[in-house]
Structure 1
């Protein structure tokens, strides 16, 4: 029997192809109850035993299209007969610095938005469908979307990735049936690329997968067995403690693993246990090595896979632990050992051993984030808290986008010492207790209008004929029922609808300069928005006191955690809430009197997804955005074999853009600066890991031809989506929504290469064959490279409104293409 989820997915695909419904945005990561048949298209994992597992099987995922029969995916009304056309008015080309402040005085981008409780319209729920499994009590809200979440979700058997190492609780598994913490590091020659049988010469592979369950080394103890528990403590923005405790042993016996992103060593703090160091390979030799620091004992461990690992032991009582080879797969230490054991893999550059020697004994336990923004210059500093031999320099691993923006002050970058990461190219060794990363081209001049990153200008200087065409579209679209289109059972779709009308009304104000039309539209938009700001929508938001956040009440009904893309379990909050924040920014810009009654509600969405300060103890700090990786993780409280993931890079940037504009409108200079800084960091990281120009020097060459990542997990990359494998879905989900920030993230060179590879006439999948809302998305994106063709598409007579998805308007697409230079006379350059 075909699973119901597959039937729905196939039905939706057919309806979209026939143009009977709009193509819907992605269904992302969901954990389905056991017993549901998995789709055949899931991606294979390869274990060290050669067993094929699927990542969806490991995580219990299912791909489906929810709400197929609900109002959330019903077609939006088509364009109605235009009302009498307003008199066209020609706007002027002006620098957006006139509408967006540029702060000459240094601003702290990480000041709290607010510190009070959630507004009274949000009911508080003290219980959540996802239990807080073996998490030690802490005073601050718990993180939900960080790299270590697998350690407190499901059966705790999935791994976490600190990059370049991965850590997984063995839980009695693996070749040694160990109960310790397994450490993996995957080299490039161990990665799995595919599907090779479907790949033509010169064509890119679909996916890159890192094998799981390798167990290069396992830090364990003789006392660990079937009663062992895994607890977590100090859940922080960059770090966590994972604690293994045996049963029937003194309460003081444990192994604590301080896990910090980019940590130079895997560190284990032993208390009153007998160390066992195990492996899924075979140990060829264990060699004690002389060490200058007499408090530390060093060993070299050679494995039969050709790799060598270093082991550094710092006993609490200075006595040689005399680690000895007890079998081909294990090393034994002394009973009752207390102290620190650190391990590190020697890189291909053998000088890495001297680097490790210099830092042995010290390790990071957490990190603090600070920043500074002045005008178009910004920086953020990650400062690590150290433990152990704190007088020694700290070695950490930097990702490629870090290396390109690191200030050399106070650090040393060892560009020749690298280890591969799972999905982010090579990590580079950096020695220093704090990193300052610099961005010197913040998009401070970007406002609501079409914008160009090279000229730093907007362009609203349109011919009267263009103004007339945009006006016709705006009058028609603003005659529609905004409340009906936005009053849905999904925060995601509701937000998209509201944002669509916000952009139309903005165009009516600053481009058409039609105040009558603005008043007409704004009255309806504010009424539609009030349904949400008073929390009277179909599924009101609640403040979840268990995890600390604003979530949809839909998931509390029969534990339906898949409702609204998993919002209740903290999936996609930056995607969902970005549309509301952007809408509020436009309304506040047009009607400042509206702000007083709505500011706290909007700020609550900001705080949930992007609280910048520990002074705000109502929400965790930066739930979604990961300042180590330089982008967000959309995956919430669902266990997953490949850990966290991000699909729609463009909606990630949409949150940062909305943050910037909302901060500007309400006069919060810290928030505006933070949005500008996040946009610049996103541009840097996404252009390395998600959006690939042909000369990309980070990702494997056999994958770059895909041009976009598809879904980027911590442990794999797959050129697909959660809702289908059509090319326009895969590429398009990294395009929408097309707004002023799109030009910063998606370079003209990239868009040209992507278009010519996939969508130009004669390419693999010409855009002319793409139907539904995805066709409009492709042509709106084309305005970033060829605005004339984009404008011609949207301005054609009798334009087919089915080419607009539920979050797009003809008004905005016409204005955007024109503003990018789509109506420039022959011989004039684009903006």
Structure 2
């Protein structure tokens, strides 16, 4: 890579979690079929369904979908079913807004289509699925006729792989289809020892099969029926399968056959406002020494490819389930670049175009200062303990972050140092409840999956309590607020760091450990460097895969990470947070926050402006807690923080406002109730800070318009310093 500077992926720490956090085994979710787990196990990855529940829900590998058939479908197969749907095959649902010409309320890709199936004649009802090497970008999936059998079909499943590869050991290959074979033709040998077949299914789709026997002899596939293509018994070798969108792409697959990725890796460095990071792959296959990998890139990858990687892009594209078209790229590694890291972003209001440290250049008018000082005094007198010591890590974290932002605003922006110092002491006392693990449901270190989870589900028996924190759901949403609060406290009182740094770093490591050297936590539990954003869902089986409901709280974690790194002087962590924010800004604008010129989400859906809940397999313009449009849009706004202007561009906010909240729009802002009203108007400050400032400073302002995790003081200062108060 051409960028030299700070290593972005240095370990945070390597020691055990703080003594205040007890160790406990017996997690409610068993580790189904995981062989030799050894170190920490991933809990929020694309392959999680293989180790949860029925083990029969899909894995969305991009661009393919893999599902253990388990005797289902026309083929009654017990192998690994492969499917890929074209963009035209998406199914759209009715709008959730009762207005003319409203966009589709959701779209989904059909499940259960078994185009081709990697299987074996020996597979039946006793077939066992096991896994090993559960890594950030990959997993090895094994199918055996029964547990302990020496015969095995192993599939290295890696994000972006261009072939689905099966490694056969002493099995009789069975390539099946529940869509039915229309025709199969031998198509020569792209290289000596690689036997190619061209398959046309009854749906008209064309697939390629490459067989690479260990002994070099023909696999002698025979078409037994419309659902079964069978090879030789006691066979050893690899079989690779790929979808062919058009004839012009065939030679691209031919040149890549015989090699496949086995694991992915990330590295990178940052210097000033530029970072370069690489995605690279270990590879296997009989021809891997002389064959370069072919991997599929998502649209946001292509946008940020460095020139040498960009030159290796091909004309081969396949639709993905929810991320537009994937483009095949020739290369064993990619180099990606972000040239506008938000290094100058601090705790103060900020815009991407700010070239200097905004934190030191902002001033409030005397009129605005007097007005906000009166409000801050009211908010600082609230009972911080009552609002923060709750039975939820999520709501507790929101309260701590809210008061931290209030204290910062008073201290640095409002010239209220003495009042801020008193509030800071109270805030430190509230945070100590958590750093000493004395909250209502203390954290524990789960020795099975290896991570910090709430004890709530252990005590109540309810998997969904506190949004499933005990089951590793939403950790990035929950702990990001704690990181921000800790960053502010440590910034204002550096002596506080001595007793609290290890605790906060443990939260960082649980969600976002950057290094395999740390054997206490998996690498990047939540953030997916292939997709460019985080996933929620945790240890819950899900037919449509992982999902994310709040893109803004995803960014909140990256922001908290950056600011905590800055506060404690961890340059690698700070750079990592900056890079994550930049990558998130790119991916969110490609997939979640939809402007009218978006080409990655379907034309019938982009009018929604946000995806709502984005799953791996569908987008649904709702929330988990209601379908009111202020909720659906607002959950992608909260919290309104300095990073909001980075991830939510002015073009997007303008289009969203006109669509939903302006006078005469679907859900006029003036008609919104409760805390969502304050959120929507604080978001308006991005494009019309004067209107936002006037709203928050109106006479007889209703405090019910402020969400429990937000500060009116901050909202007014935010609007004012973005340009809302010029006098």
TM-score using structure 1 length: 0.85
Determine helix, strand or coil for the equivalent of 1:366: strand
Report deviation, 1:414: 3.5
Partner of 1:131 in structure 2?
A: 30
Alignment of 1:469-484 (within 5 A): 469-484=371-386
Tell me, yes or no, if the aligned pair for 1:105 and 1:375 is still in contact at 8 Å.
no
Quote the residue 1:252 is aligned against: 150
For the pair 1:400 / 2:299, whether they are aligned, the reply is: yes
The higher relative CO (CA closer than 8 Å, separation ≥ 6) is in 1
Task: Identify the residue that residue 187 of structure 2 maps to in structure 1.
Answer: 289
Of residues 564, 573, 577, the one that matches 2:466 is 564
The CA deviation string for residues 437-472 of structure 1, in whole angstroms up to 9 with x for no partner, is: 100000000000000111235363221010011111
For residue 629 of structure 1, what is the aligned residue in structure 2?
531
Match 1:384 to one of 257, 281, 286: 281
Equivalent residue, structure 2, for 1:30: none
DSSP 3-state at the match of 2:337 = strand
- What does residue 502 of structure 1 align with? 404
Structure 2 counterpart of 1:729? 631
Which residue number corresponds to residue 515 of structure 2? 613
Deviation of the 1:105 alpha carbon:
7.1
Contact kept, 8 Å, 1:693 with 1:750, in 2: the verdict is: yes
- CA–CA distance in structure 2, aligned partners of residues 123 and 278 of structure 1: 50
Q: Is the 8 A contact 1:412 1:431 kept in 2?
A: no
After TM superposition, give the deviation of residue 705 of structure 1 in Å. 0.5
Secondary structure at 2:119 match in 1: strand
Change (3 A) 1:777 1:434: same
Where does residue 666 of structure 1 map in the other structure? 568
Count of residue pairs brought into register by the alignment: 720
Specify the SS of the correspondent of 1:705.
Answer: helix
- Report the Cα offset of residue 196 of structure 1: 6.9
* 1:344 maps to 2:242: yes
Contact 2:365 2:726 in 1 (8 A): no
Partner of residue 512, structure 1: 414
CA spacing shift, 1:197–1:586, aligned 2, 3 Å? closer
Equivalent pair of 1:262/1:398 in contact (CA under 8 Å)? yes
| Alignment partner, residue 829 of structure 1 | none
Kindly report structure 1 stretches of 4+ aligned residues shifted beyond 3 Å.
196-202, 410-415
Aligned to 1:438: 337
In structure 2, the residue matched to 1:773 is 675
Offset from partner CA, 1:743-775 (integer Å, 9 cap, x none):
000001110110011100111110111010000
Residue of structure 1 in register with 2:229 after alignment = 331
Does structure 1 retain, via aligned residues, the 8 Å contact 2:451–2:521?
yes
Cα distance in 2 between the residues matched to 1:617 and 1:304: 49
Shift of 1:190: 1.1
Q: Is the 8 A contact 1:286 1:324 kept in 2?
A: no
Cα offsets for 1:572-609 (capped at 9, x unmatched): 00000011110000000000000010000000000000
Matches within 5 A, 1:74-473: 106-195=5-94, 202-247=101-146, 251-348=149-246, 350-388=247-285, 389-390=287-288, 391-409=290-308, 412-456=311-355, 458=358, 460-473=362-375
Tell me by how many angstroms 1:313 deviates: 0.3
In structure 2, runs of 5+ residues without a counterpart are: none
SS at match of 1:779: helix
Equivalent residue runs for 1:46-57 within 5 Å: none
Which among 643, 646, 662 is matched to residue 548 of structure 2? 646
Query: For each residue in 1:375-419, what CA deviation from the matched residue of structure 2 results, as whole angstroms up to 9, or x when unmatched?
Result: 000111011001011120100100000011111325644452110
Q: Deviations over 1:203-226 (max 9, x none)?
A: 210111000001010111110000
SS in 2 for 1:701: coil
CA shift, 1:358, in A, is 0.2
- Name the CA distance, whole Å, in 2 between partners of 1:582 and 1:157: 39
Return closer, same or farther for 1:767/1:411 CA change in 2, 3 Å cut-off: closer
Aligned to 1:69: none
C-alpha contact 2:195 2:211 (8 A) present in aligned 1: yes
Equivalent position SS for 1:685 = helix
Check 1:196–1:119 CA distance in 2 against 1; reply closer, same or farther (3 A cut): closer
Mapped contact 2:95–2:103 kept (Cα < 8 A): no
**Contact 1:159 1:166 (C-alpha < 8 Å) held by counterparts:** yes
Q: CA distance change for structure 1 residues 758 and 411 in 2, over 3 Å: closer, same or farther? A: closer
Q: Secondary structure at the match of 2:680?
A: helix
Q: Tell me the residue number matched to 1:678.
A: 580
The 2-side partners of 1:607 and 1:444 are apart by: 22
Instruction: Give the Cα separation in 1 of the matches to 2:95 and 2:489.
Output: 51
Per-residue CA distance 1:114-169 (angstroms, 9 max, x = gap) = 00011100000011011111101132200000000000100111010110000000
Q: Does 1:702 align with 2:604?
A: yes
Deviations 1:589-635 (A, max 9, x none): 00000001000000000000000000111000000000000000011
TM superposition shift of 1:543: 0.4
What's the offset of the Cα at 1:422? Answer: 0.2
Partners of 2:145 and 2:295 lie apart in 1 by 30
* Distance in structure 1 (CA, Å) of the matches to 2:60 and 2:523: 20
Aligned match of 1:714 = 616
Per the TM alignment, residue 200 of structure 1 is displaced from its structure 2 partner at its CA by 6.0
For residues 197 and 783 of structure 1, the distance between their equivalents in structure 2, rounded to whole angstroms, comes to 27
How far has the Cα of 1:824 moved from its partner? Answer: 2.7
The equivalent of 1:754 in structure 2 is 656
TM-score normalised per structure 2: 0.98
For the 8 Å contact 1:255–1:269, the answer to whether it is kept is: yes
Partner of 1:26: none
List alignment gaps of at least 5 residues for structure 1.
1-103, 826-831
Q: Kindly tell me: are residues 524 and 411 of structure 1, through their superposed partners in 2, closer, same or farther at Cα, counting changes over 3 Å?
A: same
Instruction: Label 1:410 to 1:736 Cα distance change in 2 as closer, same or farther (>3 A).
Output: closer
